[in-house]
């Protein structure tokens, strides 16, 4: 059963790693999409204005953090924590993938179908949350720490 869990975590990590590697390779395109989303975001007036270089750095940092969490998930150390972090790190991609109300074009321009990117991102979040909730018989470290004195 442990081998199946390892295989499942590795397979779930693949799209995260591939998407993040693409973001590192094409950080100009991804930072432009992020900046475009930020200008249309309802909270844009409260956020600081970033330069294109700062957007590029943010995209690269996000991609590196996603790859590190993906590798941590595959490595098996604290898989639930890494899965939760992956789900949280995917939230910006989900937001950027959502079609805009003011036009029929999605934020993630260049996708074949506006809803395909959104569905893919939501599927990745769901897979990460499923791994985060899976304890397969092992209690969390917090529970073990809290009940250590009971034994």
- Which residues make Cβ contacts (< 8 Å) with residue 107, sequence separation at least 6? 33, 36, 37, 40, 95, 96, 97, 98, 99, 100
Give 23-30's long-range contacts (Cβ < 8 A, gap of 24+): 23/59, 23/60, 23/62, 23/63, 24/60, 24/63, 24/64, 27/56, 27/59, 27/60, 27/63, 28/56, 30/59, 30/63
Per-residue pLDDT of the chain (151 residues; tens, 9 = 90+): 477 778 888 888 898 899 899 999 988 888 888 888 888 777 777 778 888 899 999 999 999 999 999 999 888 778 888 888 998 998 888 877 776 665 544 444 554 566 777 777 778 888 787 777 776 656 667 767 777 766 5
């Amino acid at each position: 059963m442990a081998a199946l869990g390892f295989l499942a975590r590795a397979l779930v990590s693949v799209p995260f790693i591939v998407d993040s590697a693409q973001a590192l390779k094409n950080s100009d395109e991804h930072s432009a999409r992020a900046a475009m989303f930020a200008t249309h975001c309802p909270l844009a007036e409260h956020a600081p204005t970033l330069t294109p270089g700062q957007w590029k750095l943010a995209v690269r940092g996000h991609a590196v953090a996603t790859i590190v969490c993906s590798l941590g998930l595959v490595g098996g150390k604290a898989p639930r924590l890494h899965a939760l972090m992956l789900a949280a790190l995917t939230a910006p991609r989900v937001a950027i993938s959502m079609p805009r109300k003011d036009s029929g074009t999605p934020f993630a321009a260049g996708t074949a179908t506006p809803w395909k990117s959104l569905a893919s991102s939501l599927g990745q979040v769901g897979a990460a949350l499923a791994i985060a909730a899976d304890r397969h018989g092992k209690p969390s470290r917090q529970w073990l720490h809290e009940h250590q004195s009971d034994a």
